Structure 1
């Protein structure tokens, strides 16, 4: 019971600590920027995959939602994770507050675990906010472009939330990598650099490398490109992401604990 109290108190402190920082701004502005970008592209190019469905009287929302999450997960979300974890841990590195935190009468595991849970919740909230922007952009598109009128059809809210959850789970392994790097190194550049390398390499390897299904940075792309498993929450890329993420997180937690004891 006391251990749970420590964790909840630390988690509450994390939410208060970052209240007026870039973390919350990124949580809203990044999904807004991505949704707006996809909205502009759809309004300008009018993809045939959408217009043909509308002309045939078929519901275009599912395809519209998939397009949004493909852009989000393949191009931008890994970099967002790198930025988010970098900002969270950068505050502690910059202010050199680790020794102060560990001097408090609080278990070390609760300090580390609360930061892990906090960053995961921020990532989840970001994707839920994005789901809301996807829905909003569909109705705005209907008003601005009569040929892209999605409004008369059911908005597939359940599928929208399913995709948000799938993308979240597919990012767990990437989060584990950047959470570890952000905690280990004080330089923000390591996280961003690794994120860029991960995104570019995944884009290249996914073109034909037979082992790409085991590459963490490719899990999100494989999850949203998998047409057969698109309606399944625990498709193969998601399962791989959870397994790899759990292993990496356990190793990173042990590594940080070991280094703290040595210090």
Structure 2
């Protein structure tokens, strides 16, 4: 019964977002960086590759840098939209009046939120790979015909996904606790900026939750790439996510004022 109830809750959540901005944001946002890279390599591919490195290595560098900076904002925005639909329409009382437990409602939202992050990163990886082959069709001499392991790219995207769940859980909880959109966004910006400053020399910067996704990312497309060489940030992120999601679930059960 619990599994069936959870399935109904997830179906209701997916149906709710199907015709909203959130649905299209999750699908189209991953295309932003690949689209820019496609234009850049079509127009200046020869000059980019001439600087050194293979075509795939350059494409990965052009993709990973902006993605590491922009993806945390994507996580924060999705968390806000997932939880503010009911707050903006003042329908939390109606939601909890349904024949579903509060824990079921929470788990449904959490799983849909996690699925959105996962799908977006996988789409980003596939679109980045597609950029290489589209450029190859336009300019076969650029070097994109060289062997490239798509599974390394998707595996790296998966580790980044796991590494974002730590601070993602924080913003999921914050967006449930407050109707103020500025507070979670401000905390997120502060977290991102503080990591960028602390990582320059602080020895404990690797424990900063807003940097786990950066520290877990490897040099895809190079001979030195190893999917399992940067797993400490992933483990820290998963541990943090487990704690924060558990606290959020307990808090949802105890919450009386909607």
Matched, 1:176 2:169: yes
Query: Shift of residue 64 of structure 1?
Result: 3.4
Instruction: Output the CA distance in 2 between the equivalents of 1:200 and 1:38.
Output: 25
- Give the conservation status (yes or no) of the 8 Å contact 2:26–2:116: yes
Q: In the superposition, relative to structure 1, how do residues 166 and 141 fare at CA in structure 2: closer, same or farther (>3 Å)?
A: same
Q: Which of 242, 246, 251 matches 1:246? A: 242
Q: In the superposition, relative to structure 1, how do residues 229 and 160 fare at CA in structure 2: closer, same or farther (>3 Å)?
A: closer
Query: Shift of residue 161 of structure 1?
Result: 1.0
Query: Shift of residue 29 of structure 1?
Result: 1.6
Matched, 1:160 2:153: yes
Instruction: Output the CA distance in 2 between the equivalents of 1:262 and 1:95.
Output: 16
Q: In the superposition, relative to structure 1, how do residues 79 and 52 fare at CA in structure 2: closer, same or farther (>3 Å)?
A: same
Instruction: Output the CA distance in 2 between the equivalents of 1:211 and 1:169.
Output: 20
Structure 1: gaps spanning 5 or more residues: 55-59
Report how many aligned residue pairs link the two structures.
253
Mapping 1:149-228, distance limit 5 Å: 149-150=143-144, 152-224=145-217
Instruction: Output the CA distance in 2 between the equivalents of 1:230 and 1:14.
Output: 37
Matched, 1:113 2:107: yes
Structure 2: gaps spanning 5 or more residues: none
Instruction: Output the CA distance in 2 between the equivalents of 1:207 and 1:39.
Output: 31
The 10-residue stretch of structure 1 (117-126 or 192-201) with the greater mean CA deviation from structure 2: 192-201
Partner of 2:120: 126
Query: Shift of residue 218 of structure 1?
Result: 0.8
Q: In the superposition, relative to structure 1, how do residues 84 and 233 fare at CA in structure 2: closer, same or farther (>3 Å)?
A: farther
TM-score scaled to structure 2, two decimals? 0.88
Partner of 2:6: 7
The 10-residue stretch of structure 1 (132-141 or 109-118) with the greater mean CA deviation from structure 2: 132-141
Instruction: Output the CA distance in 1 between the equivalents of 2:77 and 2:94.
Output: 25
Local SS of the residue matching 2:100: coil
Local SS of the residue matching 1:171: helix
Query: Shift of residue 61 of structure 1?
Result: 3.2
Query: Shift of residue 123 of structure 1?
Result: 0.6
Instruction: Output the CA distance in 1 between the equivalents of 2:194 and 2:36.
Output: 23
Partner of 2:17: 18
TM-score scaled to structure 1, two decimals? 0.86
Q: In the superposition, relative to structure 1, how do residues 257 and 130 fare at CA in structure 2: closer, same or farther (>3 Å)?
A: same
Partner of 1:57: none
- Give the conservation status (yes or no) of the 8 Å contact 1:166–1:233: no
Matched, 1:65 2:60: yes
Instruction: Output the CA distance in 2 between the equivalents of 1:140 and 1:146.
Output: 10
Quote the RMSD (CA, aligned, Å): 2.4
